[in-house]
Structure 1
Amino acid sequence: MEVWLGQLVHNLLAALALPQIGLVAVFVIAFISATLLPLGSEPAVYLVVKADPSMFWVVILVATVGNTLGGVVSWWMGYGVEKAVEAVQHHEPSHSRAAQWLQRFGPKACLLSWLPIVGDPLCAVAGWLKMPFWPCVGYMAVGKFLRFLFYTAALLWLVPESWLQ
């Protein structure tokens, strides 16, 4: 079993090392991980960059675009759910602490969309609260870019080569 699993991991890493597959994989994984589905994109980004360090900036940008577009989907989901609920029942705006905090900071709160656990729902709530779309997207992109930049650079610097063999 261990030999089979080891071979599977080796084949997966070899496929991710190919630029034409690696970039697509990074985009898809980054996109899916920014929706409300539980998936982390950092390992894929790290592995592709580790396989070909000259692709560092390209991989960071592809991951940022994919992750930002996933955040956009979450924003639209929140917006759509709010519209659907509004059509069924007339409700008062939420007065929860989280909603008040988001309304106080506005689209700038989307800078935190990179955070684990709360980042993806934050994008959906921004849509629910009908925050301005393009400023939210801009702040999402900046936050997600900085996350990929710092996580990947830190992993490249901190992870010993012996752990990858």
Structure 2
Amino acid sequence: MLDFFYSHLSYLGLFIVSFLSSTLLPLASEAFVLAFIKFDFNPTITLFIATLANTLGSLSTYALAYFSKEKILQKYFASSLKKLENYTLNFRKFGSIFAFLSFLPLVGDLFALGLGFAKYPILKTAFFIALGKFSRYFFLVFITF
């Protein structure tokens, strides 16, 4: 019974860390995923939870930009509106590539933010973000060990 509680609580912790690390907070979910594998947690469950949570975290960043674009831009970036329009065209044109590459450290969060600002379609965004996150964690979980 205690093992069951311990493993579920641990998976919840992995979910929280993976979610937060794909927002604008600087956390490294990869280290947690590798630790879970090292401590003999189920690799498939670890892969699923990390991918789901990291994808949802990126989508929360996307949603923040998507729904509050005007407020954020007017308040903090009024002088940069024209420049952002140039980036918006790139995000609309190459959105699936930016979404897939959102797994990259540092710039990945900015890609999710840019996709939201550009109002790139949510289903394409979610699919390619999930594909990128899954690819990264799959490599960590099954290829490195």
TM-score band, normalised by shorter chain = 0.7 to 0.9
**What are the residue-to-residue correspondences of 1:10-159 with 2, within 5 Å?**
18-53=6-41, 55-85=42-72, 94-96=84-86, 98-156=87-145
Which sections of structure 1, spanning at least 5 residues, go unmatched?
A: 1-14, 157-165
Q: Which has the higher contact order (CA 8 A, sep 6+)?
A: 2
Call closer, same or farther: CA 1:155–1:80 in 2, change over 3 Å: same
Counterpart Cα distance in 2 of 1:84 and 1:147: 33
SS in structure 2 of the partner of residue 94 of structure 1: helix
Which sections of structure 2, spanning at least 5 residues, go unmatched?
A: none
How many residues are aligned here? 137
Counterpart Cα distance in 1 of 2:105 and 2:89: 21
Q: Deviations over 1:93-125 (max 9, x none)?
A: 7344x4443222123420001001100110011
Q: Which runs of 4+ in 1 moved over 6 A?
A: 86-89
Which letter maps to 1:75? Y
Sequence identity percentage: 28
Q: Is the 8 A contact 2:88 2:117 kept in 1?
A: no
Which letter maps to 1:111? F
SS in structure 2 of the partner of residue 66 of structure 1: helix
> How many Å apart are 1:51 and its aligned residue?
1.4
Counterpart Cα distance in 2 of 1:80 and 1:152: 35
Which letter maps to 2:70? K
Counterpart Cα distance in 2 of 1:103 and 1:143: 18
Which letter maps to 2:31? P
SS in structure 2 of the partner of residue 111 of structure 1: helix
Q: Is the 8 A contact 2:100 2:129 kept in 1?
A: yes
Q: Is the 8 A contact 1:42 1:152 kept in 2?
A: no
Which letter maps to 1:29? V
